[in-house]
Amino acid sequence: MKSVERSRGGGGEPARNRACYRCDRTVAPSALFRIEIAPPASLAEKYADAVRYCCEGCAAGMNLSDFSDRWEAAARPRDERSNG
Ligand SMILES: [Zn+2]
């Protein structure tokens, strides 16, 4: 294996701070959203799979963040509980 010297934007690196792809803010790996882009089969020839990393704020801004059940339960008003 040859060592790559400072290739920008290269993937496959171990966990380290990354820049949010939208706002360019440097985010710790523990707070990064990982967005995997997988094109549909019909467009797979045109588009490649890709991975983007973005910060919590941008994920929320894009409506990408989905809250866990625990958070949803905490945020949901008491009088609006559904019984199944
Ligand atoms: Zn961001």
Q: Cβ contacts of residue 11 below 8 Å, gap of 6+?
A: 51
Measured torsion, CA atoms of residues 78, 66, 68, 38, in degrees rounded to the nearest 10: 150
Q: Which residue is it, tokens 């991975």?
A: 51
Q: Cβ contacts of residue 53 below 8 Å, gap of 6+?
A: 18, 19, 20, 21, 27, 32, 33, 34, 35
**Distance from residue 81's CA to the centre of ligand 1 (Å):** 33
**Distance from residue 82's CA to the centre of ligand 1 (Å):** 34
Q: What is the mean pLDDT of each run of 10 residues along the chain (84 residues)?
A: 53 73 93 92 94 92 81 75 59
Cα 67 from Cα 45, distance rounded (Å): 33
Q: What is the pLDDT of residue 82?
A: 59
**Distance from residue 30's CA to the centre of ligand 1 (Å):** 14
Q: What is the pLDDT of residue 54?
A: 93
